[in-house]
């Protein structure tokens, strides 16, 4: 039987990046197909046949479909054991599972903050509300999904108090990582394991939502980020989109955009000039005009292995997604 893995991916998704890191560490060849979350392709009927939860990542291995990143990684560990990423000790295995749980909690805090402080403001400048909802409606007519998109564009995901609380929670998570790395090179058993793969992709994105990670406050975390970042699997999965977002953040443009769009007083002439300058750039970067021209409900042409006995694993089916998350077109 031909051994072929197809990864349904979105390059800025930390969850998808974890799977790519695992595949590369194990030396497993694979193909990728991008599911454009900005166009809500994850809610397209064709993709929902792959992953009924409408999220990325998912993989198709010789016709066997598996979704949810931790389940995919467990599957890869079981079926490609030549390179093991699971900790060698029983204590390490438990610790890695705990880090996986910590990361899930961090993700649930991070996602709405990302919408509120990055994705929402960028879309708010790049296009009108009608354009944004029109693009979303091409992929889904689910009222909950469209209502969520309206909140994203309308900057109603979190208020200022909630954003501060979310950042405070994320800082507490970084504090935990900092303490855990005291006198250690890696999170578990002092070697690179699934624990590091769980935490690294998202913690490195926290500065994008206004959570600063610097050597003065977090020397252990910064040293660990630098150490892990030297691995080939990390370097090659660092997406161009994430690089662009980091550049926007580093030059202060993200904070400037937030100041303008959340400003309660009338926009100044300078504010209007900044928006006028940024709109065509962001519109092109986010593919607004292309998305508007896409036919309604046009199916995603999914590549699949040439295997007839396709099925969804029971383990994947058993992974529960909270109802409130099902209503969000999750992007990260």
> Any idea what the CATH number is for the domain that residue 19 is in?
3.40.30.10
Range of the domain at 314: 5-84+297-326
What is the reported pLDDT for 324? 36
Residue 194: inside a domain = yes
Same domain, 137 and 256: yes
Which residues are within 8 A (CB) of 122 and not within 5 positions of it... i.e. 6 or more apart? 257, 282, 286
Same domain, 317 and 234: no
How many C-beta neighbours within 10 Å does residue 128 have? 12
Task: Give start and end residues of each alpha helix (H) in 51-157.
Answer: 69-79, 90-114, 120-126, 129-137, 143-153
Same domain, 315 and 259: no
Same domain, 144 and 249: yes
Same domain, 33 and 181: no
Per residue of the chain (332 residues), give pLDDT as tens. Answer: 467 899 999 988 999 999 999 999 999 999 999 888 777 788 878 888 888 888 899 999 998 999 999 999 999 999 999 999 999 999 999 999 999 999 999 999 999 999 999 999 999 999 999 999 998 888 778 888 889 899 999 999 999 999 999 999 999 999 999 999 999 999 999 999 999 999 999 999 999 999 999 999 999 999 999 999 999 999 999 988 888 888 888 999 999 999 999 999 998 999 999 999 999 999 998 889 988 887 765 555 666 655 433 334 433 433 333 343 334 444 33
Residue 27: inside a domain = yes
How is residue 72 written in tokens? 């995919």
Instruction: Report the CATH number that the domain containing residue 94 is assigned in CATH.
Output: 1.20.1050.10
What is the reported pLDDT for 156? 97
Residue 331: inside a domain = no
What is the reported pLDDT for 291? 86
What is the reported pLDDT for 140? 79
What is the reported pLDDT for 327? 44
Residue 276: inside a domain = yes
What is the reported pLDDT for 270? 93
Same domain, 118 and 71: no
Same domain, 305 and 280: no
Residue 56: inside a domain = yes
Q: Are 258 and 117 in contact (CB under 8 A)?
A: yes
- CA–centroid distance for 38 within its chain: 12
Same domain, 139 and 268: yes
Instruction: Write the Ramachandran bin of 189: left for phi over 0, alpha for psi from -120 to 50, otherwise beta.
Output: left
Residue 151: inside a domain = yes
Q: Are 56 and 331 in contact (CB under 8 A)?
A: no
Same domain, 17 and 145: no
Same domain, 141 and 238: yes
Residue 332: inside a domain = no
Same domain, 63 and 96: no
Least Cα distance to 17 among 226, 189, 199 occurs for 199
Number of domains in the chain: 2
Same domain, 42 and 96: no
Q: Which residues pair with 118 in a beta bridge?
A: none
């Amino acid at each position: 039987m031909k051994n072929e893995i197809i990864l349904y991916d979105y390059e800025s998704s930390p969850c998808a990046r974890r799977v790519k890191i695992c595949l590369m560490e194990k030396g497993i060849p694979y193909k990728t197909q991008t599911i454009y979350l900005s166009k809500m392709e994850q809610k397209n009927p064709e993709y929902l046949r792959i992953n009924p939860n409408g999220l990325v990542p998912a993989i198709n291995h010789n016709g066997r479909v598996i979704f949810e990143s931790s389940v995919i990684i467990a599957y890869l560990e079981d079926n490609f054991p030549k390179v093991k990423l699971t900790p060698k000790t029983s204590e390490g295995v438990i610790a890695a599972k705990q880090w996986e749980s910590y990361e899930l909690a961090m993700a649930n805090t991070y996602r709405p903050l990302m919408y509120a402080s990055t994705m929402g403001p960028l879309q708010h400048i790049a296009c009108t509300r009608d354009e944004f909802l029109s693009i979303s409606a091409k992929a889904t007519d689910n009222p909950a999904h469209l209502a969520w998109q309206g909140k994203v564009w309308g900057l109603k995901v979190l208020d200022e108090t909630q954003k501060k609380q979310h950042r405070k929670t994320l800082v507490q998570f970084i504090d935990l990582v900092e303490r855990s790395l005291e006198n250690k090179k890696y999170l578990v058993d002092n070697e690179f394991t699934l624990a590091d793969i769980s935490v690294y992709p998202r913690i490195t994105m926290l500065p994008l939502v206004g959570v600063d990670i610097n050597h003065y406050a977090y020397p252990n975390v910064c040293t660990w980020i630098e150490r892990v970042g030297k691995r080939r699997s990390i370097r090659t999965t660092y997406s161009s989109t994430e690089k662009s977002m980091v550049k926007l953040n580093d030059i202060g443009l993200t904070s400037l955009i937030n100041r303008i769009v959340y400003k309660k007083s009338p926009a100044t002439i300078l504010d209007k000039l900044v928006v006028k300058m940024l709109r065509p750039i962001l519109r092109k970067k986010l593919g607004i005009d292309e998305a508007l021209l896409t036919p309604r409900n046009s199916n995603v042409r999914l590549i699949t292995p040439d295997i007839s006995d396709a099925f969804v694993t029971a383990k994947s089916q058993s992974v529960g997604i909270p109802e409130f998350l099902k209503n969000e077109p999750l992007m990260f």
